[in-house]
Structure 1
Amino acid sequence: MNAPLFHQALVDNLADGVLLVGADGTMSAWNCAAERMTGIDAAEVLGRVWSCRHLALRDEEHRAITDSDCPIGAALATGEQVIRRLELRGRGGRFVPVEMHVIPVFEHDGELQGAAVVWRDVSSTLSLEARCQQLHELATRDPLTQVANRAEFDRVHSSFVAVHLERHSPYSLVMVDLDHFKSINDHYGHPVGDIVLATLARLLKSFCRLGDLVARYGGEEFAILLADCPGAAATHRADEIRRAVSELPISALGGKHISASFGVTEVRPGDTPQGMLERADRALFCAKERGRNTVVYLGPQQTGQSLAEIVTNLRHAVTGSAR
């Protein structure tokens, strides 16, 4: 068997584009797939020095790749393999998404001989990834408010409880209920009610950090999961949100304002997702019983008090014991 002919036939029958570049940048191989994908014949490139203009490379944000940030040049300069998602101009001028592997090739003595460049059309992969992302959003996102849905809340809340208990780090849960929402629906209609819910959801998200989660728990009730956040800080955050909600004019209501009630609790040793949720629900119930538009924090041993009430009671207890 003629080894060079066998190797050439093997390379030419690959579905991936293959380019061989010498250490000085001279192109010495350009397979059939490269011709087919780019519309450029081997005769047009072989023996020439590589430049990004041969493939009109772009990054994933559709910005042109220059020779200074070209993956082939980087591999030749550093002697290290480079893998990047790029776009190259294909036959007819259409840009094709590819995954490019640039593999440095060395002599036995360690001297760099050049690089093998292999690129694969990943159009179908990107379409599949996009579809998977769409399915993920359908499964985890509330379509009206564009925050997490109840199923995603249940999953993340259970995970947060387990992780924060294991790390002995704080985690707080805030339950939010839009006050008098039934009256809004009855007076303005459900389409306006939907606008109000979506507006509230956007405001809640604006107060969240990376790693937090806002979810629509059901109806006009939302949940905010605050990672690495102790109860006092969560209560303060909830009160900031409460004020922002009450100060926000709703154009769909003719510029009128809305309000919301908040129940806050913090994870404690031995807690369960359900136990924490029940405390937050009780705190929310207390907030609504106190006239709405307020925040109530409920710890594991508490029956439902605002932080101001807790501080006041502690002061009275200290004063009484001193007498």
Structure 2
Amino acid sequence: MDDGFYRKVLDSIDDGVYFVDRNRRILYWNRGAEQLSGYCADEVVGHLCSDNLLRHIDEEGRRLCRDGCPLAATISDGQPRRANVIMHHKEGHLVPVCVRVTPIRDQSGDIIGAVEVFSDNSHQKAVQVEIERLRELTLLDPLTGIGNRRFVETATLSRLEELRRYGWSFGVILLDIDHFKAVNDMFGHLVGDDVLRMVARTLAHNVRAFDSVGRWGGEEFAIVVRNAGTEALMNLAERLRMLVEQASLSVANEIVRVTVSLGATVACLNDTLSSVFERADQMLYFSKHHGRNRVSIELETAASC
């Protein structure tokens, strides 16, 4: 069978597949890789994976393409590897992926390169189903493609009912893009819209399938986090803060990055829709006025729930 047959097979699968030589120069990039990353083959073939197009990071935000790359390690020692990393999509947002790396050897057994297979490690299918449901219910924000304020309010009311009936805890996170007006002033409103979409998609791809993410208004977003106490809520908020900080857009010859300030609170039995968001908003205000790009959570209220 010729190479064309194998290319057709590789292009028919949903996972991303690419081959590199010993210098980590990309030799092949399948359609699954195009769909998952946003980069077409012409944009990556011939480039070194260490050129950092995908800008892989780990769960702590450390950049792996230049230090800690599973692909480089496998080429070095010949050991297959599997790792969960976070990939930078061409449109700016971050997507968690599972990568599997295997060495490629010649007839003499010498390593001549490696193949990496990567798959979406988020709840992408659930996200798409949810988007279609929200579109039908007019609960979709047309700009960002995530839920709108009405969607977040509906989800919060449902969680409050579950809290009262079953004692199921939940929390709310409000986040606001820092200095967003400066982005619009410097790059224009079209780039500002791209930044809003980048932040929205980063959030949507990096929460659990049963959590609810929506645009609260303007450059502000809200997340309703099920089955979460103070520690879990704080950990999620800090992780989202870090991921947004790592996301970026290429505009002409410039890289556009933003940070976010976050406020979080755990709901109490006597909460209303207004009261739980008022507390989260107070924490957001605290973050904004104490340096930005940080998370603040109300501990006293959480302790009394």
TM score, norm. by length of structure 2: 0.53
Whether the 8 Å CA contact 1:260–1:294 is kept in 2: the answer is yes
Q: How does 1:94-109 map to 2 (within 5 A)?
A: none
In the alignment, what sits opposite 1:258?
258
How far apart, in 2, do the equivalents of 1:136 and 1:260 lie? Answer: 27
Quickly say closer, same or farther: Cα 1:189–1:281, change in 2 above 3 A. Answer: same
Letter in 2 for 1:198: R
Quickly say closer, same or farther: Cα 1:206–1:177, change in 2 above 3 A. Answer: same
- Report SS of the residue matched to 1:255: strand
Of Structure 1 and Structure 2, the greater helix share is in 1
How far apart, in 1, do the equivalents of 2:187 and 2:240 lie? Answer: 24
Larger Rg: 1
Deviation at 1:159, TM superposition (A): 1.2
Q: How does 1:44-193 map to 2 (within 5 A)?
A: 136-137=135-136, 139-193=138-192
Do structure 1's residue 293 and structure 2's residue 261 form an aligned pair?
A: no
Whether the 8 Å CA contact 2:198–2:247 is kept in 1: the answer is no
How far apart, in 1, do the equivalents of 2:228 and 2:301 lie? Answer: 19
Number of aligned positions between the proteins? 171
How far apart, in 2, do the equivalents of 1:239 and 1:257 lie? Answer: 17
- Compare relative contact order (CA 8 Å, sep 6+) and give the higher one, 1 or 2: 2
Deviation at 1:301, TM superposition (A): 4.0
In the alignment, what sits opposite 1:277?
277
- Report SS of the residue matched to 2:183: helix
Whether the 8 Å CA contact 1:245–1:258 is kept in 2: the answer is yes
Letter in 1 for 2:259: S
Deviation at 1:291, TM superposition (A): 1.1
CA RMSD of aligned residues (A): 2.1
Whether the 8 Å CA contact 2:152–2:223 is kept in 1: the answer is no
Whether the 8 Å CA contact 2:134–2:140 is kept in 1: the answer is no
Of all paired residues, the percent bearing the same amino acid is: 34
Deviation at 1:299, TM superposition (A): 3.9
- Report SS of the residue matched to 1:263: strand
* Structure 1 residues not aligned, in runs of 5+: 1-132, 303-323
TM score, norm. by length of structure 1: 0.50
In the alignment, what sits opposite 2:247?
248
Whether the 8 Å CA contact 1:174–1:225 is kept in 2: the answer is yes
How far apart, in 2, do the equivalents of 1:277 and 1:134 lie? Answer: 25
Deviation at 1:220, TM superposition (A): 0.1
Quickly say closer, same or farther: Cα 1:300–1:137, change in 2 above 3 A. Answer: farther
How far apart, in 1, do the equivalents of 2:208 and 2:225 lie? Answer: 8
Whether the 8 Å CA contact 2:214–2:223 is kept in 1: the answer is yes
**CA distances 1:180-229 after superposition (whole Å, capped 9, x unpaired):** 00111111111000000000000001111121110000000000111111
